[in-house]
Structure 1
Amino acid sequence: MTFPGSFKHSSKVFLLLALGFPLTVLAAASLDFAVGDVQAVSSAGVARPLAKGGRIDAGDTVRVGDGRAQLRFDDGALVSLQPNTDFRIDEFQFSGQQDGKERGFFSLLKGGLRTLTGLVGKVNKGNYKVTTSVATIGIRGTEYTLSYLDSESIAIATAEGAIEVCNGGGCAVLVSGDSAVVEGSKTAPKRVDFRPQLRPAQPGEQLLPQFSTSEFRNQDGNVLLNGNQLTSGPGYSLAWARGSSGGTATNGSAVFGSSSQLLSATNPSGSFYGLTLGQSDSADGVIGWGRWATATDQLSTAMTNFHYVIGRETAVGQLAALNGITATYQMIGYTTPTGALGYSTGAPSGTLTASFGAATMSVSMALQVPYFNSMTNTTYAVNASTGTVPLSSTFTWASGATGGGLFAGTAASHAGASYNFSAGGYTNVSGAVAFKR
């Protein structure tokens, strides 16, 4: 997936360095923890391994391979780096107090991070900046996530405070709860109705004093690498809905971006390719869901508002082992419903129920979907059912809606479904939902 535009790192930062703020070989941060392959590469290109407690200098690039790292800067800032990330400290100065000379200029070269900013930039906001390939990020005192979707696009989400995202297309201020995507250096930041997240899940409100406490961990306490990421490869099923159609695609392969967003899905019957991201999320490294604002298939058919849920198929043998069990699944995620004439007025809610037999199963879903159109502002009841069908990791709706669903995870721990229904005869409404039992 490519996006238009190209970008060279901000000349303003380098001009500042040349005119009076040269890089100094002074320690800037220490490593709170390092898991897997983590290195510091000096400005001269000399690499050294990093371990907990190791010091990092201004001018260093912290390079994280198949691992994770957390940096604690001398001004109190915390930066958590996800796998496959290169993060460069272009300049850092902090004397131990706010004297107006403190500054921090950084570059995210690839991958993603989450940060809680420190004293640098609190007084003089211009003394803090993170540069990416398509935009620069300034702060107003904040906590935010930043991640590449590909080499020419980034996603940003603000948790607390505010950030300013700027490039050749303009600037946008994102306050607490705001999210945006930047697609190319000349395209203005675009606000989105989903919250981009790093994987594994990042810390929530309990951020301090241990920024790393909510990293995913094994039972022995070690950090679980890629614990919540969907990984590219075979064995995926996809349930989808758009316009007035929907269905399932089985035994396919999927390609995911660095934050588990689905980029493409290919199966024996065809392929789907996302062009413009509209929404994306996943859970437990098992199931993902989202919406492509624009997409295409192998025939280059243009599609809009393509809703999907995707996961690696639960083996039929594991489903058979649930013989006699009726499982109720609670909703853990959804896409915002879309239709040609109107818009969603809230979040859908509901459950999915599956009754498993030795060779057959029946699946039903009861949703409440709030939606407004030119004639009606109401919450629609969507009661979809498969009837009794052969035992399978996927299913399609026989009544109540168009679309289908899938079981994913060990012993069908998760389920997902797409739906499409007629909203009073004036428009069709589509969406996708994810569940966990």
Structure 2
Amino acid sequence: MRQLSVLLAVSAMTLMSPAFAADSAAPASSHATPAGEVILLTGRGTATNPQTGAIRGLVKGDPVYSGDILNAGSNSYMNLKFSDGAFVLLRPNTRFSIDRYAYTPSSAPPATPPPPVTPALPARPATPPPADRHPVTTASSTEGTLQRAFLRLLKGGFRTVSGLIGKTNADDYLVTTPVATIGIRGTDYYAYICDLACANDPIILESLDLAHLGHDLAVGATLDGVIHGSIAVTNAAGHTEILTAGQFLLTLSDGRQIRLPSEPDFLRAQPFPDPLTLCVS
């Protein structure tokens, strides 16, 4: 009995060892195909697996996965490159979720043309397929390709240069914020969830005054701006505003959408860096 007690005690200590704890904290998606990787991190960043609650620290070169919730710390920029070629740059104090992401381009070789039919021979009737055969379908509007990028901004802001997803079928790409959704067809734009710096900006305050709206509506609003291309911003009521290069929109917490005459001052003072060039640590 004493030997059995000692064996049980050793087993319990093994389970509680740091090596076991580190293994249990490994991401559940460690064997999945990465959605992308971290190509720049100036400060601290983490990824949370919402299913297990496990949090892992990130460094340059680390993969990120579909389902991850990413956090950029204070004074920390995190630049991500996704498998479809998109770049997403997170500002400091940003929380960003890769809700659902997949990109599998078709690798099938081009079809070989059938040999010519000799006119002297009668055509043989096609053999019907077995009764249990079903046609193969793909999960995307692009033949031979599985693609989707459903993302969510929870806090802070990001700038993105889009990749291949969404260029063929806009329904394959969607960014959700607390008050709006954003769709694209290939573009360079940013989104920011307004905090006090945003709510106290003179450009925003003047625009709210002209619309006879209270300044308190700015906190929690989504601010969007387009550098190149265009985006479609839809509020909870289903109304969509199209923004093109050099245009800026504020979607308020009550759903109202206010076009701004220019970029807010706080973003001109501390602009979003270009994610295509910000890739060195």
- How many pairs does the alignment contain? 187
Give, in angstroms, the shift of residue 202 of structure 1. 2.9
**Bigger strand fraction:** 1
Give, in angstroms, the shift of residue 184 of structure 1. 1.2
Match of 1:36 in 2: 43
Matched, 1:83 2:99: no
From 172, 180, 191, the counterpart of 2:241: 172
Matched, 1:184 2:192: no
Give, in angstroms, the shift of residue 43 of structure 1. 1.9
Distance across 2 between alignment mates of 1:200 and 1:138: 25
Structure 1: runs of 5+ lacking an equivalent: 1-23, 214-221, 223-437
Distance across 2 between alignment mates of 1:75 and 1:60: 17
Matches within 5 A, 1:114-263: 114-150=159-195, 152-169=220-237, 170-187=239-256, 189-196=257-264, 197=267, 200-203=270-273, 208=276, 210-212=277-279
Secondary structure at 2:185 match in 1? strand
Matches within 5 A, 1:329-408: none
- 2:79 maps to a residue whose letter is Q
- 1:178 maps to a residue whose letter is Q
Question: For the structure 1 residues 95 and 177, does the alpha-carbon distance in structure 2 shift closer, same or farther, using more than 3 Å as the test?
Answer: same
Give, in angstroms, the shift of residue 59 of structure 1. 0.2
Distance across 1 between alignment mates of 2:268 and 2:93: 12
Normalising to structure 1: TM-score of the pair?
Answer: 0.41
Give, in angstroms, the shift of residue 211 of structure 1. 3.9
From 49, 56, 60, the counterpart of 1:52: 60
Give, in angstroms, the shift of residue 75 of structure 1. 0.4
Q: Which runs of 4+ in 1 moved over 6 A?
A: none
Give, in angstroms, the shift of residue 185 of structure 1. 4.6
Secondary structure at 1:141 match in 2? coil
- 2:233 maps to a residue whose letter is V
**Bigger helix fraction:** 2
Match of 2:137 in 1: none
Match of 1:95 in 2: 104
Secondary structure at 1:126 match in 2? helix
Would the aligned equivalents of 1:167 and 1:185 in 2 still touch at CA under 8 Å? no
Larger RCO: 1 or 2 (CA < 8 Å, sep 6+):
2
Secondary structure at 2:171 match in 1? helix
- Computing the radius of gyration over CA atoms, which structure comes out larger, 1 or 2? 2
Would the aligned equivalents of 1:64 and 1:81 in 2 still touch at CA under 8 Å? yes
Cα root mean square deviation, aligned: 2.1
Give, in angstroms, the shift of residue 212 of structure 1. 4.1
**Fraction of identical pairs, as percent:** 34
From 151, 171, 177, the counterpart of 1:106: 151
Give, in angstroms, the shift of residue 25 of structure 1. 4.3
Give, in angstroms, the shift of residue 115 of structure 1. 0.3
Structure 2: runs of 5+ lacking an equivalent: 1-30, 107-141, 196-218
Match of 1:414 in 2: none
Give, in angstroms, the shift of residue 68 of structure 1. 1.2
Distance across 2 between alignment mates of 1:157 and 1:89: 21
Would the aligned equivalents of 1:34 and 1:69 in 2 still touch at CA under 8 Å? yes
Give, in angstroms, the shift of residue 201 of structure 1. 2.7
Match of 1:290 in 2: none
Normalising to structure 2: TM-score of the pair?
Answer: 0.62
